[in-house]
Amino acid sequence: MHIMEGFLPPAHALGWAAVSVPFLAWGLRSMGSSLQAHPERRMLLGVAAAFAFLLSALKLPSVTGSCSHPTGVGLGALLFGPAAMVPVGFVVLLFQALLLAHGGLTTLGANVFSMAIVGPFVSYGVFRGAAALGLSRSVAVFLAACLGDLATYVTTSAQLALAFPDAVGGVETSFFKFAGIFALTQVPIAISEGLLTVLVVNAMARFNAHELRALPVMAQQTREGA
């Protein structure tokens, strides 16, 4: 999903960076205060960050005949709120941009926006919505992680469409072209990410039931939904 180094015109690169920086600052502050008030959460936050590291390194084959990777940021957004995952996503993207030539420094702002901001916030919103509808925990977690992942790739498509509008059809035609590459490829991968996130949350519900109940986002959804 990472927009490649140098592939956004300077004005777009700067614009997305300017949008992402306040979120990053907010995320760092919210993470810091959460850990200071509840040091016992360090373990689960570590697991959530590790999940994002692991999943974003796995390039999976998809039905479109190309490969893409899940993002893994939905899990942390459900546990600690979406802001906490902005710094985590930032670190993952920085690592891949610096060492793997995957993504880039000039496109970091745009990639942070899609993977570390839109993804976690959509996951969080979907989870709250699903919980309000009374869906079981597993279904809510699945929908949240799956749709958050998909939203990241739809955002990437929109960012590229804005930077490269089609000569004839404009931004819209361009968007469908990029969405056909990114969002379509992502569908089965997003489903896999949703299922994996359910497995991890189930394990946390078994081993860390006490901590899970104390997390603000999960607290309202403690109803066991196997």
Binding residues for other proteins, rule: CB under 8 A, are 1-7, 9-10, 43, 46-47, 49-68, 95-102, 104-106, 160, 164-167, 174, 177-178, 181-182, 185, 188-189, 191-192, 195-196, 198-200, 202-203, 206-208, 226
- Nearest distance from C-beta of residue 178 to other proteins, angstroms: 6
Is residue 161 within 8 Å of 3, Cβ to Cβ? Answer: no
| Beta-carbon contacts of residue 166 (< 8 Å; ≥ 6 apart) | 172, 173, 174, 177
Nearer residue to other proteins within complex by CB, 28 or 191: 191
Nearer residue to other proteins within complex by CB, 122 or 201: 201
Is residue 71 within 8 Å of 89, Cβ to Cβ? Answer: yes
Residue 166's beta-bridge partner residues? 170
Query: 192 to each of 48, 147, 210, how far by Cα in Å?
Result: 17, 11, 27
- Nearest distance from C-beta of residue 126 to other proteins, angstroms: 19
Nearer residue to other proteins within complex by CB, 30 or 64: 64
Distance of alpha carbon 153 from alpha carbon 14, whole angstroms: 20
Nearer residue to other proteins within complex by CB, 128 or 177: 177
Nearer residue to other proteins within complex by CB, 6 or 216: 6
- Nearest distance from C-beta of residue 134 to other proteins, angstroms: 20
The angle formed by the CA atoms of residues 8, 12 and 17, to the nearest 5 degrees, is 105
Distance of alpha carbon 181 from alpha carbon 82, whole angstroms: 27
Is residue 218 within 8 Å of 78, Cβ to Cβ? Answer: yes
- Nearest distance from C-beta of residue 171 to other proteins, angstroms: 11
Nearer residue to other proteins within complex by CB, 100 or 132: 100
Nearer residue to other proteins within complex by CB, 22 or 61: 61
- Nearest distance from C-beta of residue 163 to other proteins, angstroms: 8
Distance of alpha carbon 36 from alpha carbon 218, whole angstroms: 19
- Nearest distance from C-beta of residue 41 to other proteins, angstroms: 13
Is residue 76 within 8 Å of 45, Cβ to Cβ? Answer: yes
Is residue 194 within 8 Å of 119, Cβ to Cβ? Answer: no
- Nearest distance from C-beta of residue 15 to other proteins, angstroms: 15
